[in-house]
Amino acid sequence: MAAGTWDAMHGLYWAVVTLSSVGYGHLVPRFDAGRVVASLIMLGGVGCQATLFTALALLPAALRRRRLERRAMEHLARGKDKGGLADEELLELTAGETMKAWRLSSSDSYVTRDEFCLAMLLRLEKISAEDLRLVQDTFLRLDANRSGKLESRESASRRESQRELTASLDF
């Protein structure tokens, strides 16, 4: 069959045979342009197959990691008397060097829900320390009055006007 008379079914058949075998299909391109196109398709197909096989090979490791993460969270959720978080672990979580290095520790005596969540995301490697630092720095740039809260400019200026009015009324 001449290359110019191929219909879509022949093209699909050729592509499947090429990608699922060593490349020796029943149909072979005869012209240089066809060979170039076929070579590009084969390279793309090999890349797709490699990606698929890699994902399949990594699946057991990903499932094991999720199981370990779940087990770690369950360990933290148990009380100390049931084998859960010990005092030393709680101290590390609240006042440890790691928390300070991540700029998450607002107090040495307690840890907030947000600090705990961020620390767990970092420890489980769901986010990187660089990502956290970038977001924290962005927040600091946006927090013009350093209140620890982001407010719209209108509400911030309205509050400032109210403060000025209150200050001028105080005798």
Tell me if 155 is assigned to some domain: no
How many domains does the chain divide into?
1
What's the pLDDT score for residue 55? 93
Tell me if 53 is assigned to some domain: yes
What's the pLDDT score for residue 79? 61
In angstroms, rounded to a whole number, what is the distance separating the alpha carbons of residues 121 and 78? Answer: 19
Cα–Cα distances in Å, from 56 out to 46, 48, 49, 63, 103? 15, 12, 11, 11, 38
What's the pLDDT score for residue 128? 92
Tell me if 43 is assigned to some domain: yes
Tell me if 118 is assigned to some domain: no
Encode the chain (171 residues) as per-residue pLDDT tens digits.
Answer: 555 677 777 777 776 776 666 655 566 778 889 888 888 887 888 788 889 889 999 999 999 999 988 887 777 777 666 665 666 777 677 677 888 888 887 777 777 888 888 888 888 888 998 999 999 899 888 887 888 888 777 666 667 777 777 777 765
